[in-house]
Amino acid sequence: MTSQQSPRPAIVVVGASRGIGRAIAELAARDDAPVVLVARTIESLRVVEAAIKQAGGEAFSLPVDLTAHDAASILEEFLSREGLVCDVLVNSAGYGLRGAATALPIADQVGMIDVNVRALADLTLRLLPGMVARRRGGVINLASVASFTPGPYMAMYYASKAFVRSFSEALYQETRRTGVTVTCVAPGPVSTEFLEKSGANRAALFKALPKASPEYVADCAWRGFKARRRLVIPGMSARLAILMAGILPSAALLPLVGKLQLRGNDPCPCGSGKQLKHCCRAGHAKGGTASA
């Protein structure tokens, strides 16, 4: 870029190598803007980049691990080197883990804060001021229906998504008169690798709910963002699940979610190393408040 040229507005999709992020990137690329694809797996990013280019769009691949504390700086340097500025940021990278908090590896659980929370917040806080100064663009953050209730046996994941929704909705309000939009997307189960990798697909809760396609969620997210919506909930079953979470008292909701998310052959949360069905299942399934 020469010193006379101003940087070109780009759409940055974080978590673009597959799933919902990939679907949003392919949709966004039709808008005649360059798309910057971010995730760890360069081979998968190149596949998405090639698909976008084949469809007549422009795309760049940037392999970054969001657990690295300099991830956001790496992105900023890349944009500046390519003569781009972030007009729209899509935070779709994230992962979940099903199981008792006392049984799952601590590093994997804390890693969810790094990817789902810290990286999302860091990227948003760094890129949003430029959008506000230019009075255009915005941020799409992927939360989940999980953001509407605490989630026993996926505790860290649900808590991380509660952060995403709270943070995004607050920023929506702060920026809504500046020409910038912050949209939070809260899908129910979506048929992506997320369900297998997190173990969620083996829980009764996720088996029972219908799965949306990543393309459907991407379409709802992109259209909702353009319509300047604060919150996008793709699909009727996700809306119903959120309605239930709002109506049921915690004393009923927490044991219900817990029961639907833990299976008999999972390790018992008491730390005995035994399967739940051969250990203290009744106590964990019932829940209740602590008594002296």
Ligand X SMILES: NC(=O)c1ccc[n+]([C@@H]2O[C@H](COP(=O)([O-])OP(=O)(O)OC[C@H]3O[C@@H](n4cnc5c(N)ncnc54)[C@H](OP(=O)(O)O)[C@@H]3O)[C@@H](O)[C@H]2O)c1
Q: Which stretch binds ligand X (CB under 6 A): 49-57, 166-174, 189-197, 252-260?
A: 189-197
Q: Binding to ligand X by residue 92, rule CB under 6 A?
A: yes
Name which position in 61, 144, 237, 261 contacts ligand X (CB under 6 A).
144
Q: Binding to ligand X by residue 149, rule CB under 6 A?
A: no
* Phi and psi torsions of 33, nearest 5°: -120, 150
Footprint on residues 100-119 left by ligand X (CB under 6 A): 115
Burial class (CB in 10 A: 0-12, 13-18, 19+), 115: buried
Name which position in 25, 27, 195, 218 contacts ligand X (CB under 6 A).
195
- Are the CB atoms for 200 and 154 separated by under 8 Å? yes
Name which position in 10, 11, 12, 21 contacts ligand X (CB under 6 A).
21
Q: Binding to ligand X by residue 39, rule CB under 6 A?
A: yes
Name which position in 15, 234, 235, 258 contacts ligand X (CB under 6 A).
15
- Are the CB atoms for 172 and 227 separated by under 8 Å? no
Closest CA to 207 of 188, 220, 221: 188
Q: Binding to ligand X by residue 142, rule CB under 6 A?
A: yes
CA end-to-end span of the chain: 68
d(CA 158, CA 69): 23
Name which position in 148, 172, 194, 222 contacts ligand X (CB under 6 A).
194
Q: Binding to ligand X by residue 190, rule CB under 6 A?
A: yes
d(CA 88, CA 12): 6
d(CA 170, CA 163): 11
Per the annotation, the verdict on 95 as an active-site residue is no
Q: Binding to ligand X by residue 175, rule CB under 6 A?
A: no
Interface with ligand X: number of residues (CB under 6 A): 30
Q: Which stretch binds ligand X (CB under 6 A): 2-10, 62-70, 219-227, 280-288?
A: 62-70
Name which position in 137, 151, 187, 258 contacts ligand X (CB under 6 A).
187
Q: Which stretch binds ligand X (CB under 6 A): 9-17, 241-249, 258-266, 278-286?
A: 9-17
- Residue from 157, 158, 172, 216 carrying the catalytic annotation: 157
d(CA 116, CA 17): 16
Name which position in 18, 98, 165, 259 contacts ligand X (CB under 6 A).
18
Cβ–Cβ contacts within 10 Å for residue 78, how many? 16
Q: Binding to ligand X by residue 151, rule CB under 6 A?
A: no
**Helix runs in 82-145, H state only:** 106-112, 120-134
Cβ–Cβ contacts within 10 Å for residue 291, how many? 4
Residue type, 70: D
d(CA 272, CA 28): 49
| Residues taking part in catalysis | 157
Site residues (vs ligand X, CB under 6 A): 15-21, 39-41, 44, 65-67, 92-96, 115, 142, 144, 187, 189-190, 192-195, 197
